[in-house]
Amino acid sequence: MINRDIFQKDPSTRKLVNEGVANVNDENTSQALDVLRYELETFVCDGQYEKGLAHILEIYLKNIEQAQQSAVWISGFYGSGKSHLVKMLRALWVDTVFADGATLSYSGKFSRMKIRFLMDSKSGKVRISLDGKEQEVLDLYSETSSYKVIEIKDKTTFIPGIYFSSLLLPLHKIKGIKISTEREKDKFRIEGVRIKSSRREILLPVNKGDYVSEIVFENREFKDKIFSPTLFGVQILLAFLMAYLLYEFLSLPERLKQSSWKSTFLYVFIREKHFLFWVMFIISSGIFSLWLLGHWPASMSPDSMDTWLQVEGRNFHNHHPYVYSMYVLFLTQFIDTPSVVCIFQILLISLLGSFIFYFAIKNGVSFYLVLPFFFLFIFSVPVGLFNIVLWKDIPFSFLIIFWAFYLYYRSYRKKKDLKDSFSFKKIFLLSFLFIFLCMVRHNGIVYIVCLPFFLAISGVMTKKEFVRFLILSCSLFILFRFIIPELIGVRGLKEVFSNPGRIIKNESNLMVKSVFGAYLPEYMSEKTYIFLKTLNGRDNEIYYNLLTDRDQLLSANPTIFKTTYRIALSPKSNFLYKIQSNILYRSFTDISIRLLIWNSLVPFFMLLVVFLLYRWLPLSALYSLFILVQPLCLFFVSHVTSWRYMYFIYLSGFFVFPLVFLEIKDRCRQRVMKDSQ
């Protein structure tokens, strides 16, 4: 077979009458009609052309009795056939008749048809038939001129054959199943329904002869208990963790060198200004929880839904790092709902933020200097919203802030000659947080080199402790990178881990070409524009990605079972939901408010300035540099297109000033001591 054999008419024997260009016109010359006839005979009305044609005609028929018709805008790329389609529509519209009597007709699928007849004193009877079947006989005689419209509904064409459809069921007990069409007037016939598990197969009773729009199997329980090694492993780890935390809690008086539980609680909650920390923690977690009550059980985006479906189906892929999905799976062992992840994130950021503010106050910074930043932190719209979103960016941002502050904290204590011993438990925990930082987002891998470098130059660990840290970290990296993915069957691991390499290679080649091609300024200006645009909060994708209609996303994929009964938006307070939705809407639509709220440029330049002052503020510069490493890599490695990728910059801005104030206070204190000597 050669190419021309697949065509209905041999293209080598036919001339392109229109020279391959369709012109929309109303010419009636013989030449113009010959061109039109050729175009009609060769027009392939399929795919999007067929859908567009049907849609335009349907709009016309729906408005045929109206005084005006709706306008139609046809758009597409250059050379996509817009003019050709319009020309075909015009030929249909004017009911073109050629010299030999040939006319144009359109045959398409429809579920409803309206036919409009003119009625007057000269009209007779009309017989209507469809597909050879008589529908109706109408008498159109009328003493006055008018119109009569007949509507033919429920035209259904069944294509012979048997069609098989399957979908993965959720890992939950099923109490009933409903199979239905999107539109009630559409019908189907079921030959059989089978539920199959690894242990057994169930055939459900169906009436094979009837065409129905839905079929329901009620009051049935479909449940097979299946052992899941992944789930078992997670639950074992959780049991060990809970046992360890209980042991640590029971040994608290001994470790704090307190004589009784009463003195232990007084020390933990009251003494050494600890009450300030707990007050800030309670206030911040309470304020952040209001967002959760207004958007219960969580704010979801397509990425969130993808993670949730992985967790529910125990079917992991690494397009979004599987480590984050395992993190969600681990937390949902307490309660199988996204809200438990949100609660954990609220507690985590409240603990971290409150401790940083408390640390600054405890070491001499005025309470009134720290208070404005605390209020900005707890009433921040992005922080409140992002705490309740299932995105890998959230724990990633927390970990960047944690490590930046940890380097500052340990360096500050070292400067004060306050030595800290690193037990095996501490080193293991730090190693775990280090590897989690590197793997919870793909771009976190840059810290696999950067963080050990920062630890080495800051000298916060002895050589022996640093070597232990590296050994444990390497072991955990091998475990999470190679062993666990094989055990739980993570898909797409090699492809995704090779993507950063390809991206770096492509961007490097582009940069080299720009240097030697003498258009480096254009290349850098484009990169800078994209980077600053992202920081500036001009990307409204944040708002539109937060789904209120979660069913709509799932229905787009017919192979996914709708496990929405645990994730449907169900605000615990409609009052809070309305207020928060209004705040979010205004923060995105009003440019002045958006620049005030969704703007990371200010904290970015703050970090940059603090880093440049490293000679006078070395600890704050260390904090800033660790955070700036990530945007520097994103700038050169990829085109940053989403504000949430830079959320850690925005978050770090609340803490940089209290830490700078602390270092300035400490320098003033040292100068006073030197002068007094």
Torsion of CA 606, 607, 612, 614, to 10 degrees: 120
Residue 311 DSSP SS3: helix
Q: How far apart are CA 307 and CA 305, in angstroms?
A: 5
Q: How far apart are CA 21 and CA 41, in angstroms?
A: 15
In the block, tokens 């969580």 appear at: 298
Tens of pLDDT, residue by residue over 555-602, are 444 444 445 556 777 889 989 988 988 888 888 777 778 778 888 888
More reliable by pLDDT, 199 or 513 = 199
Q: How far apart are CA 407 and CA 560, in angstroms?
A: 45
Tens of pLDDT, residue by residue over 307-352, are 888 888 788 888 888 999 999 999 999 988 899 999 999 999 999 9
| pLDDT given for residue 640 in this prediction | 56
Which of 543, 594, 551, 595 lies closest to 570, judged by CA? 551
| pLDDT given for residue 33 in this prediction | 80
Of all residues in the chain, the percent with pLDDT exceeding 90 is 30
Residue 142 DSSP SS3: coil
| pLDDT given for residue 166 in this prediction | 61
299 pLDDT more than 70: yes
384 contacts 288 by C-beta, under 8 angstroms: yes
> What is the arithmetic mean of pLDDT over 641-645?
77
**pLDDT band per the 50, 70, 90 thresholds, residue 165:** low
362 contacts 316 by C-beta, under 8 angstroms: no
Element (H, E) at 395: helix 393-415
The mean pLDDT value of the chain amounts to 79
264 contacts 258 by C-beta, under 8 angstroms: yes
CA 548 to chain centroid, in Å, comes to 13
| pLDDT given for residue 211 in this prediction | 78
Least trusted range by pLDDT, from 311-320, 477-486, 540-549:
540-549
214 contacts 206 by C-beta, under 8 angstroms: no
170 pLDDT more than 60: no
Of all residues in the chain, the percent with pLDDT exceeding 70 is 75
| pLDDT given for residue 535 in this prediction | 67
Q: Which two tokens stand for residue 459?
A: 């000298």
Contacts of 282 by beta carbon, 8 Å cutoff, 6+ apart:
none
> What is the arithmetic mean of pLDDT over 251-265?
87
Q: How far apart are CA 388 and CA 86, in angstroms?
A: 49
| pLDDT given for residue 180 in this prediction | 79
395 contacts 345 by C-beta, under 8 angstroms: yes
| pLDDT given for residue 669 in this prediction | 83
Q: Which two tokens stand for residue 26?
A: 């109303």
**pLDDT band per the 50, 70, 90 thresholds, residue 395:** very high
According to the 3-state scheme, what is the secondary structure of 31-59? HHHHHHHHHHHHCCCCCHHHHHHHHHHHH
Tens of pLDDT, residue by residue over 111-160, are 566 666 767 777 777 777 665 566 567 777 776 667 676 666 544 444 44
Q: How far apart are CA 473 and CA 450, in angstroms?
A: 13
Contacts of 489 by beta carbon, 8 Å cutoff, 6+ apart:
316
**pLDDT band per the 50, 70, 90 thresholds, residue 632:** confident
Long-range contact set of residues 623-627: C-beta below 8 Å, sequence gap at least 24: 623/404, 623/405, 623/407, 623/408, 623/652, 623/656, 623/659, 624/404, 624/656, 625/454, 626/400, 626/403, 626/404, 626/407, 626/450, 626/454, 627/400, 627/401, 627/404, 627/652
| pLDDT given for residue 422 in this prediction | 84
Least trusted range by pLDDT, from 61-70, 300-309, 439-448:
61-70
| pLDDT given for residue 384 in this prediction | 94
**pLDDT band per the 50, 70, 90 thresholds, residue 494:** low
Alpha helices, DSSP H only, in 210-273? 229-250, 252-255, 261-269
Tens of pLDDT, residue by residue over 186-241, are 777 777 787 777 677 778 888 877 778 888 887 666 666 777 788 888 889 999 98
| pLDDT given for residue 158 in this prediction | 44
Q: Which two tokens stand for residue 478?
A: 């091998």
pTM (predicted TM-score): 0.70
Least trusted range by pLDDT, from 4-13, 576-585, 595-604, 617-626:
4-13
| pLDDT given for residue 157 in this prediction | 44
| pLDDT given for residue 161 in this prediction | 47
Which of 377, 374, 381 lies closest to 276, judged by CA? 374
Which of 445, 637, 366, 650 lies closest to 536, judged by CA? 650
219 contacts 176 by C-beta, under 8 angstroms: yes
- Number of H-type helices and E-type strands within the chain: 26, 8
**pLDDT band per the 50, 70, 90 thresholds, residue 368:** very high
104 pLDDT more than 80: no
The domains of the chain are located at 14-109, 270-673
More reliable by pLDDT, 135 or 366 = 366
In the block, tokens 């770090």 appear at: 652
